[in-house]
Structure formats: C-alpha cells, structure tokens
Amino acid sequence: MIEREFIKNKINELYIKNKIESRISSRAGIGGIYFEKTPLGEKVIIEAVKPGLIIGRGGETIKDLTKILKNTFKLENPQIEVREIQEPNLNAKVIARNILFKLENFGIRRFKPISYNSLSNVMKAGAMGCEIKISGKVPSQRSRVWRFYNGYMKKCGHVAQDLVDSATMVANTKSGAVGIKVKIMLPNTPLPDKVKFKTIHVEEVDEKGNLISKEEISAKEAENQAEKSAKSAKSAKSKEVEKEKSKPAKISETKKEEKKSEEKTKKSKPKSKKEEKN
C-alpha cells in the first residue's frame, strides 16, 4: 500500500530530526529541519540562528552527521545544507527553546517576565500576533495554564492550521515537567477577510482609433494642469483689480454720508439768544 510507504517515510524523518537535535548543541538555535528529494540524493536543510556551531571546525559535525545518516538511516548520498535564520524572533521554535532554556536555568518563579519579554520581542519584530501558553505546576503545586497574548491571532480554519507558525516543548524543572506552546502569526500571512484593491490602467484612443502612449497622456495632463493654474491666476488678478476699482467709489459714498450727517446735526441744534435778536 502507498499509504504505508508515506507513513514509513514520515516516521523515518521524525527519527532523523530527533537524532540531529540530540547531536547539535542547543546554543545553535535550530529553527527547523526540512527534507527535499533531489536527483543526486536526499537533501537535509537545517535552519539555525548560529550556523557556525552546526558546521564546526572544518565541517567536522556535518561529516559526522552524514555518516550517521548513511549508516543508521541508510540514506543514499545525503546532503546537509545549513541556513541562517534572518529574523529569529519570528520563529516559534527559537522562541520556545529560549523560554525552555530560561525556565530551566532561572527557575519557574520568573516565568512571567520571561514570557512577557519574549512576547514583546516577537511583536517588535513585526508579527501580526503572538500567543504563549505555559502549563504545569507554575508557580504553585496546583497545575495551571498561563496564557500570554498580543495582537491578532486566527484560531480556526486554513490559516490557523497551515499558516500560523507553532511549536511545543517540555521543560524539565525541579517541580516537574512544564509545557511550552508558542504560536506566531507572521506579518505577511494572507487573510481571507483582508481585501486589496488593484488599480486598472485604461488605454486611451485617438479619433482615428490609434492607441495613445503613456508619455502623450502624461504630457496632456501636464498641459491641462498648466491651463488650470493659468486660469486660476487670471481670476485672482481680476478680483484684485475689481477690489481696487471699488475702493474710491466707496470712499466718495462715505464722504457724502458724513456731509449729510453734519447738516442734520446743525439743523437739530437749538439757536442761541443773540441769534434770535438779530
């Protein structure tokens, strides 16, 4: 059956991953191990934060790993490739491994600052969302689940199952085993509810039916803008001229009104006794 062959291959890959992780030191910061089939043979890709620790002096560790893959797992012509992780704060395995290392070395009581620190590092790196779960006898003897989250996270559907980067690890502490689960939603994950509008360029045609080039269209647009600016300048000048013409007329009207008001005041004043005798 073909299904059994698939299952055998996956089980073999899992054993290879566990063997490679056990032989390489945790300081290298392994982010993932992937397999590819090539015409020359099987290719094993190891992503790590510090690839120099995996390569070793003169490639000693890689040579040892190739011998193990040939002898124990019977792979024909295995090729090991080491890649450096460009942004380790966006890799769920690296973050989970860091939390595990800190919990085992610094103790369980500092689990809150450790988890909040790693959460802030992930969000500063540009992730859409992050979730960290720590389960076990933390900090008391009763087992609990502590959840630390920030940002936007999908919980169901194709995005949550396939596109969200997740990792689970177990830290062996004095009080017992502590489970660590990290989920990171990467910055460029395609979401079904996120819609982008595309700009469509419409081609223009002459009266004869010939297509107009982009340069001609841009030249016409520049001419139209120049005409609009010239018209606006002319209208502004004409308004200023009208204002200047209307100023002397207004001044003459105000003088006439002042004379009329003076005559009215003279008429309304009472005459003195000397004026009446004369």
- Top CATH class, 2-86: alpha beta
* Alpha-carbon span 46 to 20, nearest angstrom: 9
* pLDDT of 137 above 80: yes
On the question of a cis peptide bond just before residue 139, with omega within 30 degrees of 0, the verdict is: yes
Q: Which amino acid is at 93?
A: K
For the chain, give every domain's residue range: 2-86, 89-185
Question: What pLDDT, on a 0 to 100 scale, did the predictor assign at position 277?
Answer: 45
pTM of the model: 0.66
> Is a pLDDT exceeding 50 seen at residue 102?
yes
Bridge partners (DSSP) listed for residue 184: 130, 165
**CATH no. for 89-185:** 3.30.1140.32
pLDDT at residue 121 in the model: 95
For residues 82 and 73, give the distance between their C-alpha atoms in angstroms, rounded to a whole number. 20
Kindly report the average pLDDT of the chain as a whole number. Answer: 83
Res 272 pLDDT > 60: no
Could you tell me the pLDDT band of residue 267, with boundaries at 50, 70 and 90? low
**Highest mean pLDDT range out of 41-45, 69-73, 118-122, 207-211?**
118-122
Neighbours of 228 (CB within 10 A): 10
Residue 188 CB partners (closer than 8 Å, separation 6+): none
Residue 211 clears pLDDT 60, i.e. is over it: yes
Query: Does residue 273 register a pLDDT over 60?
Result: no
Specify the pLDDT at position 276. Answer: 46
Question: Taking 70 as the threshold, does the pLDDT of residue 103 lie above it?
Answer: yes
**What Rg, from alpha-carbon coordinates, does the chain have?**
41
pLDDT at 210 over 70: no
Whether pLDDT at 243 is above 80 = no
